Chain A
Amino acid sequence: MSSPSHLSLILDLTPVPWDALSHSTPPLRLKDFLAQALVFINAHLALRNENSVSVFGALPGRSMILYPPAGSTQVEADENTFHVFGQVDEGFMRSVEQEVEDLQEVEEDVPPALVGALTKSLCYINRLSNPPPPSNPSEAPPPPPHSRILLFSVSPDASVAYIPFMNCIFSAQKLKVAIDVCKLDESEVIFLHQACHLTGGAFVPITQREALLQYLSMCFLSETETRKTLAVPTLDKVDFRAACFCHKEIVDIGYVCSVCLSIFCQPVLECSTCRTKFSPDTLLRFGNMNLNGHAHTHSNGTVTA
């Protein structure tokens, strides 16, 4: 068998969509979800002794590491449990409870800090793949694990974080980390689609929530090496739309600055990123197109020829 694998879980813990999920039919309560996720984590750890796991959480406006806990916590030994399982169960549940308790009143429209959780997860994976030199140079360092990220998404895309999110995708590509997405609700997430497509991960919308654990073990348990021989569900359609820099709107036809490639949803006189002024001719051209009614609906206004 090849090198061990590391699994990094990212949980979107935003309260509002979780509340909605627990009242939908069939209901999926956070507690039930966490229990199933724990079974999945244990299954991953049980596959191989050297396998490891880390869990990151995203709340509105902030992100944190949930497991492994920052300080060393002693878990009481229990003869009936494999001690690694015990550690994960205890440590993970304790930090989730802590974070949920600490939760204050949040405004509804603050998006979860998925980018923060993703960057932390990537930094953690980078640390694992570049371990500090061993204290005894004669020992061979353990082989760096194959890593992958599994993201549980319950809220729609945050187009404000388009550029940082894309940067995360490219870093994951560089680290050869696959990003899997498990979509628990029905909202639209085109950037997560792109993440899965570009990193070679699986995108699975959960249609029957009562069978969550089965989805998890069938689609996400296999490591990246094994997946080459398996049929892992990939996306049928990938939407390559982007978010514009000016209004953070998601556009399918954009206006792009030829110098710095900034995307705008409507013709502008000056690029807000690199301060390049555009020639009046081009603007006029787009302006005329608007008059003729050929252009996309986003491109109305702003240009007065």
Chain B
Amino acid sequence: MPPRRDADFNISDDSEPEDDELDEDYNASRTIRTKGKGKGKGKELGAYAWEASYKRSWDTVQEDEAGSLQAAVQDLVARSKRRRCACSWGDAPIRRTIIRHMMFLVDLSTAMMDRDMRPSRFDLTLSYAREFVSEWFDQNPLGQMGVVGMRNGVGERIGDMSGNPQDVLKCFLDKTLLEPAGEPSLQNSIEMARASMNHLPTHSSREILIIFGSLTTVDPGNLLDTVDACVRDQIRISIVALSAEMKVCRDMCERTGGVFGVALNEGHYKDLLFELVPPPADKSPVSRLAAQAGEGQSELMQMGFPTRLPATAPPSLCVCHSRLRSEGYICPRCNSKVCDVPTDCDICGLMIVSSPHLARSYHHLFPAPAYKAVLELDGKEASACHACSLPFPTTARAPLQTEEGMSPHGRYRCPKCKHDFDAECDLFVHDVLHVCPGCG
């Protein structure tokens, strides 16, 4: 069972003074949930385990000498940021699937009209879906995504598998086309998604992401047979549930190697969804890719990196449409001109791609080393952040409580180049830049 929302929780939730403190609590509760699946009863409190994680935030916030909460609030903000990155970058996995294919299944049943999330589950899902799609294509430039809606007991194809983020975003733009109605059908929709991924090459990943608001599903047959078929086809199913945990959903995710999560509230919903953005790590030795690697099914592809001609170049005929135009890309092997990349050269058959396209995913393979929090100073440290050259605070801020991964001096050190960085740059380096300024 997911944590029940009882009266106590709601009251404390509403009376929270700080938004960031709220975030904090969600994260904490999530950790507990993933470990104990929310089932374990807290022994010492005699209550649910998750209740222990709801700290009374008004006790932990302390005023400084001037009676201001500024410092305390900043500290909390910094801490919640730290925690977010601490969960996202662990040790780097060996193998990640870079070419991804995902079917995005959205529940469009009447359960989505519930207003327990503001403004409604449906509206929130649409806006998060748009953000998710942009972020997903940003991190997986070679990925493709399709959209299926679940309503009136059938799966409805909303958007075909496409590599163009604009095409996918268009699916979520028109609200009137997606008006929720009837009951959802997991089996019908999964079967539809499975069918549209059947033809995909073996070296890409096949994933189904389901946003599920209902507590019921209307299926024509046995849903477990469909799950078996997905396991056979090596399709990974991940579900973000909006109401409560269903046994069949969790089983489905566990059997196919996906992730299951129940959203507690708006912020947690977004966190759950965005955890699915980075390519899934393949750590298990029996995984499909590893097995494939053993069988030697992975391929080495020959690719050409073209030269792009500008709009001011003298016009010439392209080999793909025989049209006279200035812009184009020159195949490096046969020097013929094609209109767009990525494509296969019509003359020599070479796969022509633009190398920045490939390079966009390399940070998954070579991440920046995780910085370690500096707990003690020995007096020889640099006085300013190595990246942005802003001076470090000279006085150590007394931490409100001992927190793992937080430095009282605001210093985080690269294990490789031994330079110190401040919290802001640490976040930026690992979230956006993916290059350590000291090592680079």
Interface residues of A (CB under 8 A from B): 65, 68, 70-71, 113, 115-116, 118-120, 122-124, 126-127, 130, 133, 135, 137, 161-164, 166-171, 174-175, 194, 197-198, 234-242, 251-264, 267-268, 271, 273-280, 282-283, 286, 296
Instruction: A175 to B428: give the CA distance in the assembly, Å.
Output: 11
Q: Mark B415-440, 1 if CB is under 8 A from A, else 0.
A: 00000000011001100111111101
Pairwise interchain contact B142-A261, C-beta atoms closer than 8 A: yes
Q: With A166-B359, A242-B358 as given contacts, are A124 and B365 in contact (CB-CB < 8 Å)?
A: no
- Give which listed residue, B295, B332, B365, B437, contacts A273 with CB less than 8 A: B365
Pairwise interchain contact A239-B391, C-beta atoms closer than 8 A: no
Instruction: A263 to B359: give the CA distance in the assembly, Å.
Output: 10
Pairwise interchain contact A123-B355, C-beta atoms closer than 8 A: no
Which of B177-185, B297-305, B316-324 faces chain A?
Answer: B297-305
B387 at the A interface (CB under 8 A): yes
Pairwise interchain contact B387-A168, C-beta atoms closer than 8 A: no
Interface centre among B95, B97, B356 (most CB of A within 10 A): B356
Instruction: A296 to B333: give the CA distance in the assembly, Å.
Output: 8
Distance between B17 CB and nearest chain A CB, rounded to angstroms: 15
Pairwise interchain contact A115-B435, C-beta atoms closer than 8 A: yes
Distance between A60 CB and nearest chain B CB, rounded to angstroms: 14
Q: What A residues does B307 contact at CB under 8 A?
A: 237-240
Distance between B349 CB and nearest chain A CB, rounded to angstroms: 11
Dominant SS at the A interface?
mixed
Pairwise interchain contact B95-A119, C-beta atoms closer than 8 A: no
Pairwise interchain contact B389-A65, C-beta atoms closer than 8 A: yes
Distance between B373 CB and nearest chain A CB, rounded to angstroms: 18
- Give which listed residue, A241, A260, A279, contacts B96 with CB less than 8 A: A260
Distance between A147 CB and nearest chain B CB, rounded to angstroms: 13
B7 at the A interface (CB under 8 A): no
- Give which listed residue, B295, B309, B424, contacts A237 with CB less than 8 A: B309
B312 at the A interface (CB under 8 A): yes
Minimal Cβ-Cβ distance residue in A for B384: A70
Pairwise interchain contact A70-B383, C-beta atoms closer than 8 A: yes
Instruction: A70 to B388: give the CA distance in the assembly, Å.
Output: 10
Minimal Cβ-Cβ distance residue in B for A67: B389
Q: With A65-B389, A168-B435, A273-B365 as given contacts, are A261 and B305 in contact (CB-CB < 8 Å)?
A: no
Q: What A residues does B203 contact at CB under 8 A?
A: 258-259
Instruction: A108 to B166: give the CA distance in the assembly, Å.
Output: 48
Distance between A144 CB and nearest chain B CB, rounded to angstroms: 14
Chain A to chain B: the 7 pairs with minimum beta-carbon distance, closest first: A242-B355, A123-B387, A252-B332, A166-B359, A279-B296, A119-B437, A258-B203
Q: What A residues does B74 contact at CB under 8 A?
A: 133
14 A-B pairs in the complex with CB atoms less than 8 angstroms apart? A70-B383, A119-B435, A122-B428, A124-B389, A126-B425, A126-B428, A166-B360, A167-B435, A237-B309, A242-B359, A256-B303, A259-B98, A260-B95, A283-B300
B313 at the A interface (CB under 8 A): yes
Q: What A residues does B294 contact at CB under 8 A?
A: 277
Pairwise interchain contact B94-A275, C-beta atoms closer than 8 A: yes
Q: What B residues does A174 contact at CB under 8 A?
A: 138, 432
B58 at the A interface (CB under 8 A): no
Instruction: A170 to B296: give the CA distance in the assembly, Å.
Output: 33
B293 at the A interface (CB under 8 A): yes
Minimal Cβ-Cβ distance residue in A for B432: A171
B310 at the A interface (CB under 8 A): yes
- Give which listed residue, B305, B366, B434, contacts A251 with CB less than 8 A: B305
B192 at the A interface (CB under 8 A): no
Distance between B166 CB and nearest chain A CB, rounded to angstroms: 17
Count A-B pairs with CB separation below 8 Å.
209
Interface centre among A116, A169, A264 (most CB of B within 10 A): A116
Pairwise interchain contact A119-B433, C-beta atoms closer than 8 A: yes
Minimal Cβ-Cβ distance residue in A for B309: A237
Instruction: A224 to B142: give the CA distance in the assembly, Å.
Output: 30
Instruction: A70 to B303: give the CA distance in the assembly, Å.
Output: 46
Pairwise interchain contact A256-B358, C-beta atoms closer than 8 A: yes
- Give which listed residue, A236, A241, A257, contacts B300 with CB less than 8 A: A257
- Give which listed residue, A123, A170, A252, contacts B428 with CB less than 8 A: A123
> Known pairs A274-B365, A275-B293, A278-B296. 6 more at Cβ < 8 A?
A120-B386, A126-B424, A257-B300, A259-B203, A261-B361, A274-B96
Distance between B313 CB and nearest chain A CB, rounded to angstroms: 7
Minimal Cβ-Cβ distance residue in B for A123: B387
Q: With A119-B387, A168-B435 as given contacts, are A258 and B299 in contact (CB-CB < 8 Å)?
A: yes
Minimal Cβ-Cβ distance residue in A for B386: A120
- Give which listed residue, A124, A167, A253, A258, contacts B434 with CB less than 8 A: A167
- Give which listed residue, B295, B300, B363, B428, contacts A258 with CB less than 8 A: B300
Q: What A residues does B297 contact at CB under 8 A?
A: 279
Interface centre among B203, B296, B429 (most CB of A within 10 A): B296
- Give which listed residue, B300, B354, B387, contacts A268 with CB less than 8 A: B300
Distance between B135 CB and nearest chain A CB, rounded to angstroms: 11
Q: With A234-B310, A259-B203 as given contacts, are A253 and B440 in contact (CB-CB < 8 Å)?
A: no
Instruction: A43 to B338: give the CA distance in the assembly, Å.
Output: 44
Q: Mark B112-152, 1 if CB is under 8 A from A, else 0.
A: 00000000000000000000000000100010000000000
Minimal Cβ-Cβ distance residue in B for A122: B433
Distance between A177 CB and nearest chain B CB, rounded to angstroms: 11
